[in-house]
Structure 1
Amino acid sequence: MHFPSKEQIAALQRQCPRGTKVELLGMDDPQAPPTGTTGEVMGVDDAGQLLVRWETGSSLSLIPGVDSFRIVQKGGKA
Structure 2
Amino acid sequence: MRIISKEQLLNLRENYPAGCRVELLKMDDIQAPKIGTKGTVVGVDDIGSIMVRWDSGSSLSVAFGEDLCRRIHDDR
TM over 0.5: yes
Letter in 2 for 1:44: V
Match of 1:46 in 2: 46
When normalised by structure 1's length, the TM-score is 0.82
Q: Where in structure 2 are the equivalents of 1:1-78 lying within 5 Å?
A: 1-73=1-73
Compute the displacement of 1:64 (Å): 3.5
Compute the displacement of 1:37 (Å): 0.5
Gaps of 5+ in 2: none
Partners of 2:2 and 2:65 within 8 A in 1:
no
What secondary structure, in the 3-state scheme, does the structure 2 residue paired with 1:24 have?
strand
Q: CA RMSD in A?
A: 1.7
When normalised by structure 2's length, the TM-score is 0.84
Q: Return the alpha-carbon distance in structure 2 between the equivalents of residues 2 and 67 of structure 1.
A: 11
TM superposition outliers: structure 1 runs of 4+ over 3 Å:
none
% same residue: 51
Give aligned pairs, total. Answer: 74
Letter in 1 for 2:28: D
After superposition, the C-alpha distances for 1:15-49 in whole angstroms (9 at most, x for unaligned) are 11111100112211101001111001100001100
